[in-house]
Structure 1
Amino acid sequence: MRNRILALAALGAALGSPIAASAQSGLTVGRAPVVVDSGPTIAVEERPAFREYVVEQRVPAFRVPDRVVVGATLPESGVTYYDVPQRFGATTYRYTVVNGATVLVEPRSRRVVEVMD
């Protein structure tokens, strides 16, 4: 009897742990907006200089059929991501140009964290 109770308790813990882990997540599933963990981005006063830097680098633009918004995920192939120079601030994000707009992207998930017009 004791073994059966222990087995049921272990099964309940195993089934409940993914639910508890997902409750800790910052992402929302469904039609609600996606919450993106915001790390250090480019300071507002540095953005004009950063846009000028991107133009000077002649980064090729990538086209997508949809409007690019914060939280959107870029395609897995066909997009090249570039490091943000240290002079614009320390950031873990990369940048690319999509539909004519410079965007900051979280490199592992390919999620857009900022769109600079």
Structure 2
Amino acid sequence: MRNRLFAIAAIAGAMAAPIAAQAQTTITTGVAGGGGTVVIGEHEGIIAEQRPAFREYIVRERVPNYTISESVVVGGLLPETGVTYYDVPQTFGVTPYRYTVVNGQTVLVEPRSRRIVQVVD
């Protein structure tokens, strides 16, 4: 009986693995002085084709630049105070993240944790 339950559990686990893999997206960013890869769930950041238009949008909106002493890298945390986060316009895709400009670089941030999920290069 135990062998049968173990076999059923193993088959169920094997069938669930591809579904779990589809629910994640890996984004790799190249950042001067750092960078990295971060898995950000089923939501993507700003896709490569939209990045030039997104950068133009940031310039047009005159988003202020915040200076911090730490490097701006994927996975880094932004300060708890002093940084303002903005909604990403729907024209660039629906995303749960916010954006801001830090040390001259536009970044997408997970608003609850203040963790950088993408440096928009």
TM-score by length of 2: 0.66
1:52–1:67 distance in 2 versus 1, CA, 3 Å:
same
1:111 aligns with 2:115: yes
> Counterparts of 1:113 and 1:104 in 2: how far apart (Å)?
6
> Counterparts of 1:35 and 1:116 in 2: how far apart (Å)?
14
State the identity %.
65
Residue type of the partner of 1:37? I
> Counterparts of 1:111 and 1:34 in 2: how far apart (Å)?
13
1:46 partner SS: helix
Greater share of residues in strand: 2
When the two chains are superposed, the root-mean-square deviation of aligned CA atoms in Å is: 1.7
Deviating beyond 3 angstroms after TM superposition, the runs of 4 or more aligned structure 1 residues are: 33-36
1:34–1:41 distance in 2 versus 1, CA, 3 Å:
closer
Larger Rg: 1
Number of the residue aligned with 2:93: 89
Number of the residue aligned with 2:61: 57
Instruction: State the Cα distance separating 1:36 from its structure 2 match.
Output: 4.8
Superposed CA deviations along residues 24-73 of structure 1, whole A, max 9, x for unmatched, are xxxxxxxxx89553422111100000000001000010001121000000
Aligned length: 85
Number of the residue aligned with 2:76: 72
Residue type of the partner of 1:61? N
TM-score by length of 1: 0.68
